[in-house]
């Protein structure tokens, strides 16, 4: 139980730290493939420091949301991951929470849904990697 608590804590911190960079990465990728990459234009047209500053600003401003997401991931791990059957769907609350954020923060959530959903999926993959990693270590 104590070990699970420690892993969930680690997972929570990891998800919280990765949330903003993953969100940025996913959205820039979508923008790039759709051609609407105004952020990439800024990278070319303005000093790099402006965009880096904006990224850092976003990191700080989103910290509270990222912490909530970390808590959700940690709680999810404690609830689902210890159970063999529920273990398969462990981490599902992470993309669900991300999709929920689109509804909370955006006037037109459908327009930004793809970015939030993909961020959730990528964070879920990260969650699963940690989860599977610890499971393998346990069985070894």
Partner 1 sequence: MHRLRLYCLMLALLAASVAKADQAVLIGGGYNINGSQGQIELNVRWVQDVLKRSGLPVVTFFTDGNDPAPDVHFQQIETSSDTDNPIEELSQKLEPVARLFDNHQSNLTRYRDHAVPDVKGSTQSDKLKPALLELLDSAPEDPTLIVYNGHGKQSESTPDKVTMELWNDTQMTASELHSILDNSKAPTRFVFTQCYSGGFHRLAYENPESGLELSSSQRCGFTAESAYRLAEGCSASIDSDDYRDYTTYFFAALSGYDRHGEILPVDTDNNRDGKISLREAHLYTLENAHSTDLSRSTSEDYLNTWQPWYLKWAAGKSGLPNNEYARLFRNLADRHDIVLNENPAKNIRAKIQTYQSTMYDLYEKMHRLDESLKSIKHELMEKATTKWPALVSPYTANFQTMIASGEMLAVAQWLKEEPMYKNLVELQMEEQNSINAMLNAERDITQMQKLLEFRKLAKLKKQLYEYGTSQHIKDYERLVSCEDQPLALTK
Q: Residue 88 or 103: which CB sits closer to partner 1?
A: 103
Q: Which of 9, 17, 54, 92 binds partner 1 (CB under 8 A)?
A: 54
By the rule CB under 8 A, 64 interacts with partner 1: no
CB 117 within 8 A of CB 95: yes
Angle between helices 38-45 and 48-61 (to 10 degrees): 130
CB 5 within 8 A of CB 79: no
Tokens of residue 77, six digits = 């791990």
C-alpha 25/C-alpha 124 separation (Å) is: 15
Q: What is the nearest approach in angstroms of partner 1 to the Cβ of residue 71? A: 20
C-alpha 74/C-alpha 2 separation (Å) is: 13
Q: Residue 13 or 37: which CB sits closer to partner 1?
A: 37
By the rule CB under 8 A, 61 interacts with partner 1: yes
Binding mask 95-124 for partner 1 (x = CB under 8 A): ----------xxxx--xx-xx---------
Q: How many CB atoms lie within 10 A of CB 16?
A: 23
Q: Residue 44 or 85: which CB sits closer to partner 1?
A: 44
**Which residues are at the interface with partner 1 (CB under 8 A)?**
23-24, 26-28, 30-31, 34-39, 41, 45-47, 54, 57-58, 61-62, 105-108, 111-112, 114-115
């Amino acid at each position: 139980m104590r070990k699970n608590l420690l892993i969930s804590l680690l997972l929570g911190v990891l998800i919280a730290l990765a949330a903003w960079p993953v969100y940025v990465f996913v959205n820039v990728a979508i923008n790039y493939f759709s051609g609407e990459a105004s952020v990439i234009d800024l990278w070319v047209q303005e000093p790099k420091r402006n965009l880096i500053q904006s990224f850092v600003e976003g990191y700080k401003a989103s910290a509270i949301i990222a912490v909530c997401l970390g808590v959700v991931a940690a709680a999810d791990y404690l609830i689902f991951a210890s159970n063999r059957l529920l273990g398969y769907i462990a981490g599902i609350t992470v993309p669900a929470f991300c999709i929920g954020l689109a509804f909370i923060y955006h006037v037109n959530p459908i327009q930004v849904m793809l970015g939030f959903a993909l961020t959730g999926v990528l964070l879920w993959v990260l969650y699963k990697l940690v989860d599977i990693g610890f499971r393998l270590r346990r069985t070894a």
